Every structure is written in C-alpha cells, then in structure tokens.
Amino acid sequence: MTGERNYLGVPAPRPKAAFFELSSCEGCQLQLFNNEATLTEFLSLLEIVRFREVMTGGSDEYAIAFVEGSVTRSDEIERLRAIRGNAEVLVALGSCACFGGVNQLKNRFSDPRFAARAVYGDFPITTMAAHPLEDFVAVDLRIYGCPVKKEEVERIVTDLVVGKKVVHPKYPVCMECKANENICLYDLGEPCLGPITRAGCDAWCPNNRFGCWGCRGPAEGANIAQLEEIMKARGFTAEVILDRLECFGGFRDAADELRKKTDEQERSPGT
C-alpha cells in the first residue's frame, strides 16, 4: 500500500483498490457513486485502478479487491482465485458475495437445470449452483446488504485504510428501527425479519414501511424459533416465513431446517 494521504486530519495510506463483479446486478458498485456529498472524500481514501462501471482499462496491481456477486460458473471460480492471488485484502461486497444472494434461490429447485431452461429455453448456457465467495477463497472482510448502504461502505473503508478494526453491529435491525421511532411493521400487518437480522443499514427498509427480508444475514444470537412463534401468532404461514428466510441466503441453514419441519408436518397432518 503506497502513497500517503491525509483524511480528516489523520495521516493514512492510499491503497490501490480494484472492483470486480461476478454473477450480480452490479447494484452494489453503483451505490458507491450515489453519495455525491462525500464522494470526493471517499475517493481520496483509495487509488482505484480497476472499476469497470466508471473507468476504462485497469491494472492488476492492487492491494484491496472488492468483489460483488455470487459464483455461478466454473470460469468465475478461476477468476475469483486469480483476484484473491493478487489482493492483500479481499472484500465480499453485498449479499450475493456474502451469502449467494438472490441468485441462490435457484439452488432450491430439485432439478439444477430448471432455472436455466425457464429463462433461456434451449439456448445453451453454462451455469451451476450459486455460491458465496467464501466457498472458494478466503474472504477478509464482508460488507452486507442488497444493495450495500453507501454510508456504511464509507465508514468501513475509512476504518480499513486508517488501520482501525472493522466492527459490524451485533444487535438486530429492530434496535435501529426503534431508535428511528418507527411504528412496528407487525402492527401494520407486514412480516419482517428485523428481530433477527444484523443491523448496520439504519433500518433502511422499515424506515420506508417495508418489512425486512434479511439481506444482511443473522444478528448475533438471533432467536429464529422465537421469530417463528411471533409470525405464526400474527397469522403468517410457514411459507411466508420461508419466503423471507430463503431470499438472500444468509438464513440458509434455518430455512432448510424449517422447510424440513414443515414438510414433515404436512405429511403427518394429525401431529
């Protein structure tokens, strides 16, 4: 990491950084340039040497690699490993990179080719089950969300550059929602994973009257069994709960367990 810079009065290096996308909508990368008020200060933290969304060309000499998207093809595995080999720090950017994201929903089909046929018909396409980055390489840092929240990215990158430990909230989104004095969405008849989802987004969706879908994954000590009881008491079916738990992949294990339990109950309706 080369080049000394001064950021808010704190001497800091200006590491070379590169941005990459695998299977994704690239919305997380676009988020980084949506905060015009602090964009110049944010860019002063990094020397960006590769970023297809905003520049042509690029260098393979970088210290930090930000990778968006999940792995859904064998060539992406090779590309990801090459990126990992060049980077001192590899950052999983967004839910797809951290958990598999929306892409991993196709893994739920018993026929792995069903999704490809439904979308592309007989057109030949190379695809496989969707995976998070950590299934193939070591990930040094995760930035959660779908999309990532630009203010959080700026905070995390600042901590990374100045050598401060990056800390994610351990408490759930509900804490931020209550701090923002929102009406609980359950009282409005809306299902919400806020009680079990990792905070850090400032209750982005609940602030706009949308129930949380768990894109940031589970908070520490998330009591998923209790959430099931809350949702059932509010009249939501197991399928509604599963729709939320399965959506982004962060609650994959809990969703698999609930799906198994639900299937068993359907086979034994008298229990």
| DSSP annotation of 184 | P
pLDDT of residue 1: 45
Q: Give 111's contacts (C-beta < 8 A, 6+ positions apart).
A: none
Condensed to tens digits (0 to 9), the pLDDT of residues 184-212 reads 999 999 999 999 999 999 999 999 999 99
Strand order in the sheet with 89-93: 47-51, 16-21, 64-68, 89-93, 141-143
pLDDT of residue 10: 63
Strand duo 89-93 + 64-68: pairing: parallel
CA distance 37 to 163: 24
| DSSP annotation of 257 | H
CA distance 35 to 267: 52
Helix axes 224-233, 252-267, angle to 10 degrees: 50
Q: Where are the domains of the chain?
A: 4-162, 173-267
In the block, residue with structure tokens 């042509």: 56
What are the average pLDDT values for consecutive 10-residue runs of the chain, which has 271 residues? 57 89 95 82 89 91 97 97 98 98 93 87 91 98 96 92 91 97 95 97 96 97 93 92 95 90 76 53
CA distance 271 to 267: 9
Tell me the sheet residues that pair with 90.
65
Q: Is the dihedral of CA 117, 120, 123, 127 positive or negative?
A: negative
Could you list the beta-strand ranges (E) of 52-188.
Answer: 64-68, 89-93, 141-143
Superfamily of domain 4-162: NADH:ubiquinone oxidoreductase-like, 20kDa subunit (3.40.50.700)
Say whether pTM exceeds 0.75: yes
